[in-house]
Chains A and B, each alone.
Chain A
Amino acid sequence: MSYLEIKNLQKKYTANGPLIVNDMNLSIEKGEFIVFLGPSGCGKTTTIRMISGLEEITGGDITIDGESIVNKLPRERGVSMIFQSYAVWPHMTVYDNIAYPLKLQKLPKDEIKRRVEKAAEATEIQGLLKRYPAQMSGGQRQRVAVSRAIVVEPRLFLMDEPLSNLDAKLRVTMRTELKRIHTQQGSTSIFVTHDQSEAMSMADRIVVMYKGKIEQIGTPMEVYQDSATRFVAEFIGTPPTNFFDASIIKEGKEIYAKGEGFYYKVPASLHQALADYVGKEVDMGIRPEYIGISPQKKEGEGYLCDAEIDFIEPQGSHSILITRIGTNQNVKIHTVDYMDMKPGTKVSCYVKNEMVMFFDRETTKRIK
């Protein structure tokens, strides 16, 4: 049995309303850094509020160490929450903010002092203990919120978009910082974000959510390279995966994906999976870095089509080329080989390393 188990978790806010969290199942091991990733409104906040005890559950169960927590008060659950707004109390000094949870536990004063100082040290705010929140920057308030969360030595950390109120640069530094504190404290954490690059850079495993359901659970590499659904392929990665309408055609021993403007010979590794889809429409997805280009005409293994480059977005380390293929007017290609290509150049496009994905139109699931 895993450390934290979420079983068939459900949430409705009103009796006849929609299922905001729809049969969620998840197991988390001790020490993991889990990221809930999904667009705004998909139920991430609702889920961690149910884990923290701020929101009642409608169905299912949540256990920590094999023990159900759903009927317990928040403080009996041993979880600490870091809110998006930090929720640092404005009328208390930093010291009092961090000490308040311990005062509620009626700990002796010297122990409170010792633990507050230790928590402040871990987040590097020892020098700010006498300040009021109004006298601090967003990043410092964030650290106070983290201190206050670790001072109670929780069994589980919950963080709801803790970095989204910070400016871009600080957000990136705080990622590393939070990860460092997580490792140092040996805690188990659930971190919520709608920012996929934040999720990729921090998570041990990412839980991709969409419309109250889990789309995929996996390491950052897994969800990126081996996306389980069309949504995951689209949501993760910048620029996102390019999609094309395609119909599956069988010609002798070969299988082809035919779309407007391309006729692509599907690699043999996918033949078996696609067998049931012959004659059907599917979604074909290729990530920007797996579309190769060649200024010379090059038909052969992986060949997709010929295209004309419309725009170029140089990024320094690489460039994004924008072109049209069939009905998709906004195909993005990630290139390091042709970074200074001129708009209007005619190129041959091909799929690199057989990295093509097909998705069922109905279930949106990956065909593999």
Chain B
Amino acid sequence: MHKSLKVPKKATPYLLLFPIFIYYAVFWLAPVVSGVREVFIGMDGGFTLTENLKLMFQSELFSESVLNTAAFAAISVILQYIIALVLALLLSRKFTGSKLLMFVSMIPMAITPTATAILWKTGLVKDGWINSLLMNLHIIDQPIVFMNAEGFNAILLLIAIDTWTVTPSVMIILIAGLQGLQRELKEAAYTFGANKWQILKDITLPILKPSITTSVIMRMIAAVQVWSIAVMVLGYSKAPFLVERIAFYVDAIPGVDTSTKLAYTYSFLTTIVVLLATVVYLRVSNRNRIAGGGEEG
């Protein structure tokens, strides 16, 4: 028997992954832990369970930011999925011009958020390109003052911009799913008498469901974190969102003690919301899968 440095077999993978653990500990876990800790340290430096949360609940525009975030996330994800699905179904079949249409529909993906904001801002001002276009087409007589949009209208405006930006990437995921779908699965349904709508409803969409579920979660998380277009197009506090509040307290009124605390607390809340959204969605989609599969027999 020769003796050498022997590593137990089970430890090998952990050993190999060790650098990754370190990386996460330093660059991810540490900031998260210290961020969460801040939420439970009061203004006087002692532990507190609710002081900062109270501060947040009572802060200006808190309930608006919660409601706006919820409305934005729900409406934009649903809207983007419907548009993306229609586009994907159209573009995944071949017709003259489908390549060109696919190219055009993907342009928004190539534009950075800042450029998107500028593009829309120049369009939305009183004498911007959107108003001149609408007036030239005689859809409106008077320019619309988009930038004055407030409350729900402001949210709708941002949803429109976000949808324009994000829909192509959702569409790509759906097209990839559609093209990966075995042709024979649909043909089998067709030979048994299913029409196009039934094939979509009974075969295509249910089979694509796992990839749709994943991308919906990703989209929701991204939607909850919306802030940059809101600030860049409308400015701070015009359309308050959770993450917009964080940026507001860090960026617009820095240096004040309560600002820092509020920024940490809003971050904490956002994280919790994202986590909850994910858990709820996974639960629901899982239940659907079981119910959908075992309805009979």
The chain A residues found within 8 Å of chain B, CB to CB, are 52-54, 73-75, 79-81, 83-85, 87, 89-96, 99-101, 104-105, 116, 129-130, 132, 148, 152
Q: Determine whether the beta carbon of A104 is less than 8 Å from that of B193.
A: yes
Q: Which residues of chain B are within 8 angstroms of A79 by Cβ–Cβ distance? A: 191
Q: Determine whether the beta carbon of B296 is less than 8 Å from that of A89.
A: no
Residue of A nearest to B209 (CB): A91
Least CB distance, A168 to chain B, in whole angstroms: 23
Q: In the assembly, what is the distance between CA of A91 and CA of B189, in Å?
A: 13
Binary contact track B187-210/A, C-beta < 8 Å → 1, others 0: 111111110001000110011010
Residue of A nearest to B185 (CB): A87
B203 CB contact (under 8 Å) in A74, A80, A89, A105: A89
Q: Which residues of chain B are within 8 angstroms of A84 by Cβ–Cβ distance? A: 184
- Which stretch (B64-72, B82-90, B287-295) binds chain A? B287-295
Q: Determine whether the beta carbon of A96 is less than 8 Å from that of B191.
A: no
A81 CB contact (under 8 Å) in B191, B198, B296: B191
B96 within 8 Å of A (CB atoms)? no
Least CB distance, A117 to chain B, in whole angstroms: 9
B190 CB contact (under 8 Å) in A54, A94, A95: A54
A95 CB contact (under 8 Å) in B207, B289, B292, B296: B296
- Of A54, A90, A92, the most chain B CB neighbours within 10 A belong to A92
B34 within 8 Å of A (CB atoms)? no
Q: Determine whether the beta carbon of A74 is less than 8 Å from that of B190.
A: yes
Q: Which residues of chain A are within 8 angstroms of B207 by Cβ–Cβ distance? A: 89-91
Q: Which residues of chain B are within 8 angstroms of A148 by Cβ–Cβ distance? A: 188, 192
Q: In the assembly, what is the distance between CA of A92 and CA of B198, in Å?
A: 15
B136 within 8 Å of A (CB atoms)? no
Q: Which residues of chain A are within 8 angstroms of B296 by Cβ–Cβ distance? A: 93, 95-96, 99
Q: In the assembly, what is the distance between CA of A84 and CA of B183, in Å?
A: 12
Q: In the assembly, what is the distance between CA of A116 and CA of B297, in Å?
A: 9
What are 9 A-B pairs at a CB distance below 8 A?
A81-B188, A81-B191, A84-B184, A85-B184, A87-B184, A90-B185, A95-B297, A104-B193, A129-B297
- Of B188, B202, B206, B289, the most chain A CB neighbours within 10 A belong to B188
- Of B182, B189, B193, B209, the most chain A CB neighbours within 10 A belong to B193
Binary contact track B273-297/A, C-beta < 8 Å → 1, others 0: 0000000000000000100111111
Give the number of residues in B that approach A within 8 Å (Cβ atoms).
Answer: 24
Q: Determine whether the beta carbon of B188 is less than 8 Å from that of A83.
A: yes
Q: Which residues of chain B are within 8 angstroms of A90 by Cβ–Cβ distance? A: 185, 207
Q: Which residues of chain A are within 8 angstroms of B188 by Cβ–Cβ distance? A: 81, 83, 87, 89, 148
Least CB distance, A128 to chain B, in whole angstroms: 10
Q: Determine whether the beta carbon of B191 is less than 8 Å from that of A54.
A: yes
Q: Contacts A83-B187, A85-B184 given; indicate if A91 touches B193 (C-beta within 8 A).
A: no
Residue of A nearest to B205 (CB): A91
Least CB distance, B212 to chain A, in whole angstroms: 12
Q: In the assembly, what is the distance between CA of A365 and CA of B209, in Å?
A: 55
Q: Determine whether the beta carbon of A100 is less than 8 Å from that of B185.
A: no
A-B interface, 8 closest residue pairs, ranked by CB to CB distance from nearest: A95-B297, A75-B193, A101-B192, A87-B188, A87-B184, A74-B191, A91-B206, A83-B184
Q: In the assembly, what is the distance between CA of A101 and CA of B199, in Å?
A: 12
Q: In the assembly, what is the distance between CA of A87 and CA of B190, in Å?
A: 12
Q: In the assembly, what is the distance between CA of A84 and CA of B188, in Å?
A: 11
Q: Determine whether the beta carbon of B293 is less than 8 Å from that of A91.
A: yes
Q: Which residues of chain B are within 8 angstroms of A152 by Cβ–Cβ distance? A: 192
Q: Determine whether the beta carbon of A96 is less than 8 Å from that of B293.
A: yes
Q: Determine whether the beta carbon of B191 is less than 8 Å from that of A80.
A: yes
Q: In the assembly, what is the distance between CA of A100 and CA of B203, in Å?
A: 10
Least CB distance, A87 to chain B, in whole angstroms: 4
Q: Which residues of chain B are within 8 angstroms of A85 by Cβ–Cβ distance? A: 182, 184
Least CB distance, B87 to chain A, in whole angstroms: 24
Q: In the assembly, what is the distance between CA of A148 and CA of B185, in Å?
A: 13
Least CB distance, B111 to chain A, in whole angstroms: 37
Q: Which residues of chain A are within 8 angstroms of B292 by Cβ–Cβ distance? A: 91
Q: Which residues of chain A are within 8 angstroms of B187 by Cβ–Cβ distance? A: 54, 81, 83, 87
Q: Which residues of chain B are within 8 angstroms of A94 by Cβ–Cβ distance? A: 297
Residue of A nearest to B186 (CB): A87
Q: Which residues of chain B are within 8 angstroms of A100 by Cβ–Cβ distance? A: 189, 192, 202
Known pairs A89-B185, A152-B192. 4 more at Cβ < 8 A?
A53-B191, A84-B184, A93-B296, A96-B297
B198 CB contact (under 8 Å) in A54, A73, A104: A104
Q: Determine whether the beta carbon of A104 is less than 8 Å from that of B297.
A: no
B 128-146 contacts with A by CB, 8 A? none
Least CB distance, A56 to chain B, in whole angstroms: 14
Least CB distance, B13 to chain A, in whole angstroms: 27
Q: In the assembly, what is the distance between CA of A87 and CA of B192, in Å?
A: 12
Q: In the assembly, what is the distance between CA of A152 and CA of B185, in Å?
A: 17
